[in-house]
Amino acid sequence: MCDIYILGIESSCDETAAAVVRSGEEIVSNVVYSQFATHQAYGGVVPELASREHLRAIVPVVRTALVEAGKSYETIDAIAVTQGPGLAGALLVGLSFAKAAAFAAGKPLIAVNHLEGHIHAVLLEQRQKAGLELEFPVLALVVSGGHTHLYLAESRANGWVYHNVGQTRDDAAGEAFDKVAKLLELGYPGGPIIDFLAPHGNAKAVNFPFAQIKHRDRNPENRHEADARRIDFSYSGIKTAVLRYVELHDMRSSIEHRREALRAMASPKPPDYITLCDQQTLDLIASFQSAVVNDLVSKTLAAAREYNASTLLVSGGVAANSLLRDHFEQQARQEGLPAYFPSRQLSTDNAAMIAAAAYPLYLAGEFAEAELSAEAALRLGKDDASRKQELER
């Protein structure tokens, strides 16, 4: 079959990204403009600023991706864009641009679910390395700043079908990293700096226990039988526990000192943060990271056993975390379960994953209508209760 070149466009959160991918298996170009500098001062993404930055960046980012790939609108086969989930205003910038470009160039437009994109980041790189033969069912953990979702994926003739078998009830795991970093004055995004600092602290210093969450509804009358199999997450409690620890241990002045010192530096580097963190702070960071990672790994492996998964995929920004990778690799190996991650570069938001996820849709002729609209709360697949009902029918 001849090669298919898809231009992917991603703007769901705080990265404006464009990439060209060949036949879902080779990254020809991959451009990511990150808005960290804009949101840094606020300790999190400010939606209005994100939309404005996307507007500024979208034209040069797409142009660069095409130039670096040696392609033009005439020589690509389709344009793929993130439809959702994400920030409504941010999504709208990428989507409007992609619709206009597809219309003007007379190319098909493909709508991609951002979460499926994260899953395809893994598949794309594995295919790039060698022919990938996955055993189904695949259990995929998508863990980022906006999501902590478990999907059971099965293979069908026209692509994968997904069943949501667990998710966070409140904050996403990456959000907890970002909020704890904000509280401790470690900048934004929190994940990379916590990842860097944690090995300098004692992960056993503070105990943060997590509960098992089995039912979607506290009222037993509203529970579906399949709910009992769900494995959900919750990360808002640990953020409050860190705050309580900070207050009980009088850490405010050391946080304030760090804030002042960082403000005086033009562009602080990770080693600067080590010198600005006392041992108690480093211990707290290490304990926090270890608690979140243990919870993610143990619940995901419990879900893998519950659903007899044959393969594990871990993707999304938090999949870049070193401890998370180590623990997953070790523990999945012990259970004889192959575990795949994207490279760190493809763990966080990018458009190569969007172009890769669009390839099977291109082959199936699943093109978007001109009325395509952004869906901030777009879901991927069915939940486990509807899957159970389907099987019973």
Q: Convert residues 138-177 into a mask of x (bound to Zn ion by CB under 5 A) and - (unbound).
A: ------x---------------------------------
Min separation Cβ 349 and Zn ion, Å = 4
Give 18 or 251: the residue with its C-beta nearer to Zn ion.
Answer: 18
Among ligand KG4, Zn ion, none, the one that 383 touches (CB under a kind-dependent 5 to 8 A) is none
Q: Which of 116, 125, 349, 383 binds Zn ion (CB under 5 A)?
A: 349
Dist CA 192 CA 33 (whole Å): 17
**Residues forming the site for ligand KG4 (CB under 6 A):** 13, 144-146, 174, 177-178, 189-192, 195, 316-318, 320-321, 348-349
Min separation Cβ 12 and ligand KG4, Å = 7
Among Zn ion, ligand KG4, none, the one that 348 touches (CB under a kind-dependent 5 to 8 A) is ligand KG4
Dist CA 360 CA 381 (whole Å): 16
Min separation Cβ 246 and Zn ion, Å = 29
Among Zn ion, ligand KG4, none, the one that 174 touches (CB under a kind-dependent 5 to 8 A) is ligand KG4
Give 147 or 179: the residue with its C-beta nearer to Zn ion.
Answer: 147
Would you tell me how many other CB atoms lie within 10 Å of the CB of residue 344? 15
Among ligand KG4, Zn ion, none, the one that 35 touches (CB under a kind-dependent 5 to 8 A) is none
Give 144 or 321: the residue with its C-beta nearer to Zn ion.
Answer: 144
Give 191 or 268: the residue with its C-beta nearer to Zn ion.
Answer: 191
Dist CA 262 CA 193 (whole Å): 14
Give 111 or 320: the residue with its C-beta nearer to ligand KG4.
Answer: 320
Q: DSSP letters along 50-91, please?
A: HHHHHHHHHHHHHHHHHHHHT--TTT-SEEEEEEESS-HHHH
Among ligand KG4, Zn ion, none, the one that 152 touches (CB under a kind-dependent 5 to 8 A) is none
Among ligand KG4, Zn ion, none, the one that 117 touches (CB under a kind-dependent 5 to 8 A) is none
Give 125 or 349: the residue with its C-beta nearer to ligand KG4.
Answer: 349
- Distance set, CA 382 to CA 260, 300, 327, 351 (Å): 48, 18, 29, 25
Give 18 or 284: the residue with its C-beta nearer to Zn ion.
Answer: 18
Residue 112 CB partners (closer than 8 Å, separation 6+): 8, 80, 81, 82, 83, 354, 357, 358, 361
Dist CA 264 CA 253 (whole Å): 17
Min separation Cβ 247 and Zn ion, Å = 32
Would you tell me how many other CB atoms lie within 10 Å of the CB of residue 217? 10
Dist CA 228 CA 213 (whole Å): 9
Min separation Cβ 353 and Zn ion, Å = 9
Q: Using an 8 Å Cβ cutoff, are 151 and 161 in contact? A: no
Among ligand KG4, Zn ion, none, the one that 195 touches (CB under a kind-dependent 5 to 8 A) is ligand KG4
Q: Cα(first)–Cα(last) distance of the chain, in Å?
A: 39
| DSSP structural state of residue 27 | E
Min separation Cβ 246 and ligand KG4, Å = 19
Dist CA 240 CA 122 (whole Å): 33
Among Zn ion, ligand KG4, none, the one that 191 touches (CB under a kind-dependent 5 to 8 A) is ligand KG4
Give 43 or 317: the residue with its C-beta nearer to Zn ion.
Answer: 317
Burial of 215 (0-12, 13-18, 19+ CB in 10 A): middle
Min separation Cβ 350 and ligand KG4, Å = 8
Q: What are phi and psi for residue 141, nearest 5 degrees?
A: -100, 120
Which residue is it, tokens 């963190």?
A: 277
Binding site for Zn ion (CB under 5 A): 144, 349
